[in-house]
């Protein structure tokens, strides 16, 4: 029986820390990410790079577009420092319900370093997604997890948390990053 001697590239990949795209690179960050057709080895390789990149940063969530891959993939881990790691992998996530009540959190973003601002969002959400093996799930979330899920799903739609604060503050932070790049400081 003929056997293909070439290994699929995915078998050769190792987890890697990838550079995180930051402002002012809106060309990438504003892209609307595409759903994955199936959760295969290639997708799992991206998931693993995302997780390693997120832990190294460190952050509690990361969308694939933040490492320049415009696919609808998210990793999350809201476990606190010292607690056991509890990574979540979500492919093609969809918000299927939001509470009427809003909550407020001080948000930050690895793509907008050293900037933090209070953001209001629905307090509780239900999300449907495929896990790392492609199995479908529905999950209810509240608190920091609900905030982080919404922040990451926003990334998949090209939305940044600064779009949810005042225009004055948003324009100020975008200008700061544009200027820093011109001065060669990014």
152 is catalytic: yes
Query: Out of 46, 51, 90, 109, which residue is the one contacting Ni ion (CB under 5 A)?
Result: 109
146 HSE (CA, 13 A, CB side)? 21
Distance (Å, rounded) from C-alpha 51 to C-alpha 16?
9
Residue 34: count other Cβ atoms within 10 Å of its Cβ.
12
Q: Is 23 in the site for Ni ion (CB under 5 A)?
A: no
Q: Is 53 in the site for ligand GNR (CB under 6 A)?
A: no
Which listed residue (94, 107, 138, 152) is catalytic? 152
Stretch that binds ligand GNR, among 61-69, 83-91, 131-139, 171-179 (CB under 6 A): 61-69
Q: Where are the alpha helices (DSSP H) in 21-166?
A: 26-29, 41-56, 143-156
| H/E element, 173 | helix 167-182
Backbone dihedral angles phi then psi of residue 150, each to the nearest 5 degrees: -70, -40
Distance (Å, rounded) from C-alpha 103 to C-alpha 158?
22
Q: Is 145 in the site for ligand GNR (CB under 6 A)?
A: no
Tell me: cis bond preceding 175? Omega within 30 of 0 counts. Answer: no
Maximum alpha-carbon separation in the chain: 67
Q: Is 151 in the site for ligand GNR (CB under 6 A)?
A: yes
Q: How far is the CB of 107 from ligand GNR (least distance, A)?
A: 4
Interaction pattern, residues 61-100, with Ni ion; x per rule: CB under 5 A: ----------------------------------------
Q: Is 77 in the site for ligand GNR (CB under 6 A)?
A: no
Query: Out of 36, 46, 63, 149, which residue is the one contacting ligand GNR (CB under 6 A)?
Result: 63
Q: How far is the CB of 160 from ligand GNR (least distance, A)?
A: 9
Stretch that binds ligand GNR, among 8-16, 103-111, 123-131, 175-183 (CB under 6 A): 103-111
Distance (Å, rounded) from C-alpha 29 to C-alpha 44?
22
Catalytic residues: 152
Q: By the criterion CB under 6 A, which residues form the site for ligand GNR?
A: 59-63, 66, 105, 107-111, 147-148, 151-152, 155
């Amino acid at each position: 029986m003929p056997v293909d001697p070439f290994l699929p590239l995915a078998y050769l990949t190792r987890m890697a820390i990838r550079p995180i795209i930051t402002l002012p690179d809106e060309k990438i960050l504003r892209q609307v990410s595409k759903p994955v057709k199936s959760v295969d080895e290639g997708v799992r390789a991206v998931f693993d790079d995302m997780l390693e990149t997120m832990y190294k940063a460190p952050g509690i969530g990361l969308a694939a577009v933040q490492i320049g891959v415009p696919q609808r993939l998210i990793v999350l881990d809201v476990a606190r420092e010292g607690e056991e790691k509890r990574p979540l992998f979500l492919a093609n996530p969809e918000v299927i319900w939001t509470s009427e009540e809003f909550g407020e959190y001080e948000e930050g973003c690895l793509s907008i370093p050293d900037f933090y601002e209070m953001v209001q969002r629905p307090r509780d959400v239900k999300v449907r997604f495929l896990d790392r093996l492609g199995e479908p799930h529905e999950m209810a979330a509240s608190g920091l997890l609900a905030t982080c899920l919404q922040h990451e799903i926003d990334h998949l739609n090209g939305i940044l948390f600064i779009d949810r604060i005042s225009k004055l503050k948003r324009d100020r932070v975008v200008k700061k990053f544009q200027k820093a790049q011109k001065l060669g400081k990014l």
